[in-house]
Amino acid sequence: MPGFWDRPAESAELMRKRREVERRVETLNRLRADADELTAWRELLGGEGEADSDAIAFAARLERDLARLDLQLKLAGPDDDKNAIVAINSGAGGTESQDWAEMLLRMYVRWAEKKGFEIELADRQDGEEAGIKSATFAVRGPYAYGLLNGEAGVHRLVRISPFDSQARRHTSFASVDVLPEVDDSIQIAIDDKDLKIDVFRASGAGGQHVNRTESAVRITHLPSGIVVQCQNERSQHKNRATAMKILKARLYDLELRRRREEQDKREGAKMEIAWGSQIRSYVLQPYRMVKDHRTGETVGDADSVLDGALDPFLEAWLKGKIASPEERGETV
């Protein structure tokens, strides 16, 4: 196709879709080979005697492959294959919550690195003493949004505060929002007169990231009141482009939520997401445990979770595992 590589956005999207098709074909071919091998083992064993180590190893691998395939089939939503935009905001509590927000940022970055995903930081607002007030970043990789979508909500930390001279136990909150990154296949109409664009000098705690020019960009969408900003790049043009991409993602998510609310009303469903309704608790004192209150999934190694080992929680959420009322009512 003439000029194909001259259109980076289109070529990147097409290559992403090609890789996905290749991955599906590879999975199909592997399943066909497994089916043939399974038939061969059945004929060989004939239902008599004990399976040897090779047969046991094959069965174990097949079970893992089927579990992985089942998880892939769960990622069938219209936006699941898209990249994700993640926003973290500290809750009330000053330095405590800001430090917790930075811990969450590190956790998601480490998870993405282990997956081989690309991270692009769009905005980071540092706290006065430690941690961050907020951060917005893109996670780019296969099914990034589908995998991270269930992370949206309030996350609670219980620990002995490193900022408390009396070593008392503190509870901190931070919220996580996850949006699908809007690509060229989705048209979001934005009128220029509906935008208020401010530019300012990017800065960080301790004088970090200070630019001498006004390269940071803040965009306010007047009809919805949505405010986004980007200050990670030194170029005002790049910051504006990134901020517009985040704005489109938020407007797209706003429309999806409106449609879901209308559907819930028609079906008589009531869904309430409040600041105090945490989806997960990370307890570091008096014991160490991470528990998801929606699925009941629990991991005793809290340090590994905070180091990016999120897959047990992501998989439980994708499999639709819902905790019993007793599990949801337990306190940690």
pLDDT tens over the chain, length 332 residues: 566 556 655 666 677 677 767 777 777 777 777 777 777 767 776 656 566 777 777 777 877 777 777 777 788 788 888 899 999 999 987 899 999 999 999 999 999 999 999 999 999 999 888 999 999 999 999 889 999 999 999 999 999 988 887 878 889 999 999 999 887 666 788 889 999 999 988 765 444 444 556 789 999 999 999 999 998 888 888 999 999 999 999 998 888 888 777 656 644 443 333 445 689 999 998 899 999 999 999 999 999 999 999 999 999 999 885 555 555 555 44
- Kindly report the CATH number that applies to the domain delimited by 84-185+272-329: 3.30.70.1660
Q: 192-267 has which fold?
A: Double Stranded RNA Binding Domain (3.30.160)
Residue with tokens 């949801």: 328
Give the three-state DSSP class for 228.
Answer: strand
Nearest to 307 by CA among 158, 86, 130, 113: 113
Give the three-state DSSP class for 20.
Answer: helix
Give the three-state DSSP class for 197.
Answer: strand
- Residue 27 has φ and ψ, to the nearest 5°, of -65, -45
Report how far Cα 221 is from the mean position of its chain's Cα atoms.
Answer: 24
Residue 54, pLDDT score: 75
Which H or E element spans position 70? helix 53-74
Residue 163, pLDDT score: 82
Residue with tokens 């905005």: 123
DSSP code of residue 192: G
Give the three-state DSSP class for 7.
Answer: coil
**In this structure, are residues 261 and 153 in contact, taking their beta carbons and an 8 Å threshold?**
no
Give the integer Cα–Cα distance in Å for 235 and 4: 26
**In this structure, are residues 52 and 73 in contact, taking their beta carbons and an 8 Å threshold?**
no
Residue with tokens 């007169």: 193
Residue with tokens 């998870």: 111
Long-range (24+ apart) CB contacts under 8 A made by 53-60 are none
Give the integer Cα–Cα distance in Å for 187 and 201: 31
Six token digits for residue 70 = 């089942």
Nearest to 233 by CA among 252, 256, 261, 214: 214
Backbone CA torsion sign across 14, 15, 16, 19: positive
DSSP code of residue 169: E
- Residue 292 has φ and ψ, to the nearest 5°, of -95, 120
Q: State the CB neighbour count (10 A cutoff) for residue 171.
A: 17
**In this structure, are residues 249 and 272 in contact, taking their beta carbons and an 8 Å threshold?**
no
pTM of the model: 0.72
